[in-house]
């Protein structure tokens, strides 16, 4: 738009150039799927107003054409873009697998020593699966315009998640001597999310987009619940401080599970905010 408008000398030429933009936008949609016409259009309007003022052309004279152009842009987006739901579904399936495996482990681990060993392994694998799948929707939607970074982060977390799941199956990983190590191990794995989050903050926070700001806030809330729950689980508070008082209710293990559910919900809100940002749903 900038290149075309800069060539305009009077109102009619401006109108003609604006109409030609539609063809460029439509082709750009198929070349770069992450094209965001609404934001680009607002930036172009700002530039256009400045350019028309410089050339002493009344902005109101072409305002009608601009409104028509925006309506056509939205129509193009609606007809050529479909909402990608699969990243959200990946996360939901991963979260459900984690919750179901945890429920099964707590229910059937008392059957026998062998059952205890295997069910807790499945439980730890479920945690690894949930952390891995949590990356998919936010990374996919936030880096929708950056195909290379999006694929890099998703492939990296998939490999790391597979390694963590394999380590979780080791017999030594199940012993009580490694209770603090287990907590720190999964926390360290989850903290790898800081890398793409900081990258996204550097890219999008300067734009002052309220959707992205909300995403960051939801992710911070999620991180708080994860860390708080893992911390209590690692130090086994309050039962370590008050022996016998929290054997049935409100012990660290139970609080940990509540924190995980709250963190999962906060992450879900972040995902929906990201989808609303990219697809306006």
Q: Are residues 149 and 21 part of one domain?
A: no
Burial string for 237-268 (b: 16+ CB within 10 Å, else e) reads eebeeeeeebeeeebbeebbbebbebbbebbb
Binding site residue list: 106, 253, 257
Q: How far apart are CA 134 and CA 264, in angstroms?
A: 8
Domain count, the chain: 2
Give the tens place of pLDDT for each residue, 61-115.
Answer: 556 666 666 666 656 555 556 678 899 999 999 999 999 999 999 899 888 888 8
CA dihedral for 70, 76, 78, 83, sign (positive or negative): negative
For the whole model, what pTM was predicted? Answer: 0.68
Q: Are residues 158 and 54 part of one domain?
A: no
Q: Are residues 89 and 75 part of one domain?
A: no
Q: How far apart are CA 214 and CA 217, in angstroms?
A: 5
Where among 80, 111, 135 does a domain terminate?
A: 80
Q: Are residues 263 and 199 part of one domain?
A: yes
- Which of the pair, 281 or 279, is modelled with greater confidence? 279
Q: Note down the domain range covering 101.
A: 85-280
Q: How far apart are CA 188 and CA 200, in angstroms?
A: 20
Token reading at 247: 């054997």
Is 216 in contact with 205 (CB distance < 8 Å)?
yes
Binding site residue list for Zn(2+): 106, 253, 257
Q: Are residues 266 and 176 part of one domain?
A: yes
Give the tens place of pLDDT for each residue, 15-63.
Answer: 555 555 555 554 544 444 444 444 555 555 565 566 556 655 555 655 6
Dihedral, CA of residue 129, residue 132, residue 137 and residue 140, to nearest 10: -140
Q: How far apart are CA 133 and CA 14, in angstroms?
A: 48
- Which of the pair, 147 or 34, is modelled with greater confidence? 147
């Amino acid at each position: 738009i900038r290149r075309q408008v800069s060539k305009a000398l009077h109102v009619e030429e401006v109108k003609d150039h604006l109409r030609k933009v539609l063809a460029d936008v439509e082709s750009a949609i198929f070349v770069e799927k992450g094209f965001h016409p609404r934001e680009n259009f607002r930036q172009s309007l700002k530039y256009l107003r400045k350019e028309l003022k410089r050339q002493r052309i009344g902005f109101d004279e072409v305002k009608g054409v601009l409104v028509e152009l925006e309506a056509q842009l939205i129509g193009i987006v609606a007809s050529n873009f479909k909402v990608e739901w699969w990243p959200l579904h990946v996360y939901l399936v991963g979260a459900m697998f984690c919750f179901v495996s945890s429920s099964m482990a707590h229910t059937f681990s008392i059957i026998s020593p062998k059952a205890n060993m295997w069910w807790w392994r499945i439980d730890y694998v479920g945690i690894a699966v949930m952390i891995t799948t949590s990356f998919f929707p936010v990374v996919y939607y936030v880096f929708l315009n950056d195909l290379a970074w999006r694929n890099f982060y998703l492939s990296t977390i998939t490999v790391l998640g597979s390694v963590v799941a394999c380590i979780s199956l080791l017999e030594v990983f199940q012993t009580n001597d490694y209770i603090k190590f287990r907590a720190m191990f999964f926390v360290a794995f989850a903290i790898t999310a800081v890398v793409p989050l900081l990258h996204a903050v550097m890219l999008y926070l300067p734009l002052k987009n309220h959707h992205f700001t909300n995403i960051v806030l939801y992710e911070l809330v999620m991180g708080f619940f994860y860390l708080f729950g893992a911390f209590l689980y690692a130090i086994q508070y309050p039962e370590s401080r008050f022996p016998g008082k929290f054997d049935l209710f409100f012990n660290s293990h139970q609080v940990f599970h509540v924190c995980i559910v709250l963190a999962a919900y906060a992450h879900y809100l972040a995902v929906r905010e990201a989808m609303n940002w990219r697809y306006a749903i």
